[in-house]
Amino acid sequence: MKNGLTRRQVMYTGLAAGLGSLFARLGYAKTVALQRANEPPEPTTESNRGFSNYSRFRPSFGGPPSSDRFLGKLVTGLRKSGQEPVMVEAPDLGKVPWKMVNGVKEFELRCTPVKREFLPGEAMDVWGYNGTMPGPTVEAFQGDRVRFVVHNELPEPTSVHWHGLELPIQYDGVPGLTQDLIPPGGTYVYEYDLHQTGTFFYHSHIAMQEAFGMAGLFIVHPRIAYDPPVDRDFALVFQNFLIPPNSATANSMAMDWNWHTINGRSGPYTTPMVCKHGERVRVRLVDFSPMQHHPIHFHGHTFWLTGTEGGRIPQSAWVPRNNTLVGVAMAQDFEFVAFNPGDWIFHCHMVHHMMNHMVQQVGPRIREGFDASQYLASLPNRPSPQSSLEEPAFGVPGYPQKMQGMKMSMATMKTISGRREARGMRAGWFKGVKGLMTVLRVLPEDLYNRVMLSDEDIQPGEIFDAIVKGSYQSREMST
């Protein structure tokens, strides 16, 4: 439009002028008109007309920023509005089963020691619920009345707090303040109504047990999915542990961290999230690390921050991001349209969270009170330090920076790459996926079906190559 005003801007300005006398008292009309006039003009020429359109199948702008379709903000998924929400998928975690007892959804939680394989063959001693760490996901609906029968199978007392839920005080799970601790072998019953919706979690309210992994997701859905409806709903819990070399037991006293997990696994053992090209996707992030915050970055897309641990954010306050900081005990929900096919890394951006512990740099540690005989007996077999300072690279100040001594056995590689969710990714894809990292795969429907639904052989790199060579980037379909 002439003078850089869009039709909408003219409309707003006209409206403001028409109602001027009314709004003038509030000092409002001028502000609205000014705000609108300051927006960049909508593109009008042939060359930039594309920026006002949005496509769910290729990168596009969808502007201006006030548009509902800007960066896919309110672009619906492939599912229709007005339906039940899709169920949440938390990779590598189960769900807590429930049964209906006289109109109440009854869940059973056992507080247990857990052996959790952070990486294949690296089974760590932590604590959790029902034999997993983090515990299995609780999934319920707004309006449900829920009951949790909690058995303590730990050698010390515990209690369970329901993080973020507005419930009667006697079920809040704080030792002493709201209830007596559940003794070893004891059982305690929590029961309340759910009136909220969002990403919550349950956890021990004993600090050291929290640091030892005792938490799980608690997702409460609305009965009818929020608009715009999403096709996929993923959830991830981020945690840090310090597990000294030569030990499998997390040191929950530590203020330092060397092992990092998403849903109880470290990259590249974290199972990729796989969605279809064009779907609207929600990812729920929870930080249950003892002390560390996680700036979570997703490549190739811009997402909208649509919720926090307090529930849904009104659409007017959604924020576009590609990196969102999740603080300790906070949740962030975000949504995006998966318009860009590929295997996209999804990771915490803290560099020390992007790798697991550096054994060769740290060396073995013996703590006071521990028997050192085994360590001393194996001294002759210790790998000798590399002191090849003649290597020309040592002439470069700072060398080496790349982590040294990363080794992965053939069996481990097979386990990691042999999973259905990883089929057809580049050979060696796992070299760039470490610590607090996972992968979100956006696959065109035909490739999605091959990877997730068929049993045909897929060669390493086959799916990746098909995306790079294919015409998927430019494919336009009616939405």
Q: Is 320 in contact with 344 (CB distance < 8 Å)?
A: no
Which residue stretch of 21-29, 245-253, 286-294, 330-338 sits at the interface with Cu ion (rule: CB under 5 A)?
A: 286-294
At residue 335, φ and ψ (nearest 5 deg) are -135, 150
Which residue stretch of 93-101, 211-219, 336-344, 432-440 sits at the interface with Cu ion (rule: CB under 5 A)?
A: 432-440
Which residue stretch of 196-204, 243-251, 347-355, 409-417 sits at the interface with Cu ion (rule: CB under 5 A)?
A: 347-355
Which residue stretch of 148-156, 220-228, 375-383, 436-444 sits at the interface with Cu ion (rule: CB under 5 A)?
A: 436-444
Q: Exposed (0-12), middle (13-18) or buried (19+): which is 285, by Cβ within 10 Å?
A: buried
The minimum distance between CB 329 and Cu ion, in angstroms, equals: 14
Q: Does 165 bind Cu ion (CB under 5 A)?
A: no
The minimum distance between CB 227 and Cu ion, in angstroms, equals: 32
| SS3 category, 132 | strand
In sequence order, the 6+-apart residues with CB closer than 8 A to the CB of 472 are 57, 277, 341, 444
Residue of the chain from 165, 286, 348, 451 that contacts Cu ion (CB under 5 A)? 348
Q: Encoding tokens for residue 396?
A: 């470069």
Q: Does 347 bind Cu ion (CB under 5 A)?
A: no
Which residue stretch of 42-50, 350-358, 403-411, 447-455 sits at the interface with Cu ion (rule: CB under 5 A)?
A: 350-358
| SS3 category, 396 | coil
The minimum distance between CB 323 and Cu ion, in angstroms, equals: 11
Q: Encoding tokens for residue 51?
A: 């920026």
The minimum distance between CB 353 and Cu ion, in angstroms, equals: 3
The CA-to-CA distance between both ends of the chain, in Å, stands at 27
The minimum distance between CB 426 and Cu ion, in angstroms, equals: 25
Q: Is 240 in contact with 155 (CB distance < 8 Å)?
A: no
Q: Does 434 bind Cu ion (CB under 5 A)?
A: no
Which residue stretch of 41-49, 219-227, 351-359, 365-373 sits at the interface with Cu ion (rule: CB under 5 A)?
A: 351-359
Q: Which of 161, 265 has the CB closer to Cu ion?
A: 265
Radius of gyration for the alpha carbons in the chain, expressed in angstroms and rounded: 26
At residue 276, φ and ψ (nearest 5 deg) are -95, 145
The minimum distance between CB 289 and Cu ion, in angstroms, equals: 7
Q: Which of 260, 423 has the CB closer to Cu ion?
A: 260
Residue of the chain from 69, 221, 294, 357 that contacts Cu ion (CB under 5 A)? 294
The minimum distance between CB 240 and Cu ion, in angstroms, equals: 7
How far is residue 234's CA from residue 281's CA, in Å, rounded to a whole number?
Answer: 8
Q: Is 193 in contact with 144 (CB distance < 8 Å)?
A: yes
Q: Which of 97, 295 has the CB closer to Cu ion?
A: 295
- Give residue for tokens 């319920």: 140
Torsion over CA of 204, 205, 211 and 214, rounded to 10 degrees?
10
Q: Which of 116, 353 has the CB closer to Cu ion?
A: 353
Q: Which of 352, 475 has the CB closer to Cu ion?
A: 352
How far is residue 88's CA from residue 282's CA, in Å, rounded to a whole number?
Answer: 9
Q: Which of 345, 436 has the CB closer to Cu ion?
A: 436
In sequence order, the 6+-apart residues with CB closer than 8 A to the CB of 268 are 416, 429, 430, 433, 434, 437
Q: Which of 353, 450 has the CB closer to Cu ion?
A: 353
Q: Which of 95, 357 has the CB closer to Cu ion?
A: 357
Q: How many residues bind Cu ion (CB under 5 A)?
A: 5
How far is residue 23's CA from residue 27's CA, in Å, rounded to a whole number?
Answer: 6
At residue 110, φ and ψ (nearest 5 deg) are -110, 130
The DSSP call for residue 49 is: G
Q: Which of 294, 301 has the CB closer to Cu ion?
A: 294
Which residue stretch of 167-175, 291-299, 372-380, 415-423 sits at the interface with Cu ion (rule: CB under 5 A)?
A: 291-299
Q: Which of 56, 353 has the CB closer to Cu ion?
A: 353
Q: Which of 79, 294 has the CB closer to Cu ion?
A: 294
Which residue stretch of 14-22, 92-100, 209-217, 342-350 sits at the interface with Cu ion (rule: CB under 5 A)?
A: 342-350
Instruction: Determine the length of the chain.
Output: 479
Residue of the chain from 36, 105, 284, 353 that contacts Cu ion (CB under 5 A)? 353
Q: What share of the chain is helix, strand, coil (3-state, %, to 5)?
A: 20, 30, 50
How far is residue 348's CA from residue 409's CA, in Å, rounded to a whole number?
Answer: 26
Residue of the chain from 5, 32, 350, 413 that contacts Cu ion (CB under 5 A)? 350
Binding interface with Cu ion (CB under 5 A): 294, 348, 350, 353, 436
